[in-house]
Amino acid sequence: MLASIVKRTRILPGELAIIHDIRRRAASARTSSLIAGIGDDCAIIRPKAGYEICVTTDFSLEGRHFHRDLHPPESAGHRCLARGLSDLAAMGAEPLAVFLSLALPARLPAAWLDRFFDGFLSLAARHRVPLAGGDTAESPGLICADIVAIGQLPRGHARLRSAARPGDLLYVTGCLGGSAAELLALSRHPKKFRGLAKAAPGHPHLYPEPRLAQGRRLRSLAHAMIDISDGLSTDLTHLCEESGLAATLEEAALPINPLALSAASRKEALALALNGGEDYELLFTASPRAKIGRSFLGVPIHRIGVLRKRTRKQPLILLNTPDGRRIPVIAAGWQHFHSGS
């Protein structure tokens, strides 16, 4: 830990001291696949024979993905890693290693970074993924964390967004709208959440759980898959566009998180489920003949709709309401560089 440094200084020490402590904390997570990690110019990773490599990268930007005055540092670290692991889960991959590059303001309290790594490395240990390297730099004011996650999966078994078929049923893991609802609560009552320094169930925004085990289970069942990071409406749009298909959703089947239902009206909760984002659940398609159970490894599975051939006369996504209406669904989740986001 950086505890010894914190005693000597209230702000960050030099880069070499930071790297030394990160290396020491990350050493316990070494695996047989990581041949060389922190300490060399490059890491060396050895995948299993007959496996392919998956690579993903994600920024976590202060003021966009987390706020120092709202999010506990442990949550910022946890969420940074969860973003990358969730992408691996959506491909059906198992994690091999992660890399973290940090741009930090010089006067950042050393205790903040220490707690950030508490959250980051706790999630890494739970999924047995080593921190294999990265970079550090001084930023002019804001924190930026860039995660690169490396995974492996059997050759030819990646679940791509483009592999859905007409007539496939649509499924989602877990519940939707909980992250957006907790973020609303966090912004309104930040003091209530400051003591949440460890991952705990029931906090889908502060401590989302990447569905890695469920993603691996779905390699043999799903045709196409994507994680719900930008909102169901936006991520389903991505899947439909990549597969050249359209979708019909059943409003009554959407699993709306109790946090969303308790924080808003039914109409508002539905909007959070469709557009809120950062739930990091898996949205996948499968043949009607596939044996999809009601849960995988303790996580509920919900059938929420069907894919159909795309036509010019119908919207890309339709929502069937309980009273018999068919409402077009517009991609209204998160989009960077979009004034309507």
Per-chain mean pLDDT for the chain? 90
Per-residue pLDDT at 285: 98
* Close Cβ partners of 191 (under 8 Å, ≥ 6 residues apart): none
Q: Residue 88's pLDDT is what? A: 98
CATH at 92? 3.30.1330.10
Query: What global pTM score does this model have?
Result: 0.89
Distance CA 247, CA 253 (A): 14
**Of the residues 104, 121, 154, the one at which a domain ends:** 154
Q: Residue 258 pLDDT > 90, yes or no?
A: yes
Our CA dihedral for 93, 134, 41, 141, rounded to 10 degrees, sits at 160
Claim to verify: residue 255 and residue 192 sit in the same structural domain = yes
Of 128, 154, 180, the residue that ends a domain is: 154
Q: How confident is the model at residue 20 (pLDDT cuts 50, 70, 90)?
A: low
Binning pLDDT at 50, 70 and 90, where does residue 145 land? very high
Q: How confident is the model at residue 338 (pLDDT cuts 50, 70, 90)?
A: low
114 and 47 inside one domain: yes
- The pLDDT, as a whole number, for residue 33 is 82
Q: What is the CATH number of the domain that holds 206?
A: 3.90.650.10
Do 176 and 322 have their domain in common?
Answer: yes
Domain presence at residue 218: yes
- Where a domain ends, among 101, 132, 154? 154
* Pair (247, 118) in one structural domain: no
pLDDT single digits (tens) 200-219 = 889 999 999 999 999 999 99
Q: For residue 171, which amino acid is it?
A: Y
* Count: domains in the chain: 2
Provide mean pLDDT across the span 170-189: 94
Residue 337 has pLDDT above 50, yes or no: no
Q: What is the distance between the alpha carbons of residues 248 and 170, in angstroms, rounded to a whole number?
A: 9
Please indicate, yes or no, whether residues 172 and 315 belong to a single structural domain of this protein: yes
Mean pLDDT of 96-105: 94
Residue-level pLDDT at 340: 46
Pick the residue with more confidence: 39 or 152? 152
pLDDT at 35 over 80: no
Residues counted in the chain:
341
Cβ 206 vs Cβ 75: under 8 Å: yes
Q: Are residues 148 and 34 in the same domain?
A: yes
Q: Please give the residue range of the domain that contains residue 201.
A: 161-328
Residue-level pLDDT at 3: 47
Residue 199 lies in a domain: yes
Burial category of 273 from C-beta neighbours within 10 Å (exposed 0-12, middle 13-18, buried 19 and up):
buried
3-state DSSP call for residue 167? coil
Q: Is 309 a domain residue?
A: yes
Average pLDDT over residues 107-132: 94
Please state, in angstroms and rounded to a whole number, the distance separating the CA atoms of residues 153 and 164.
Answer: 19
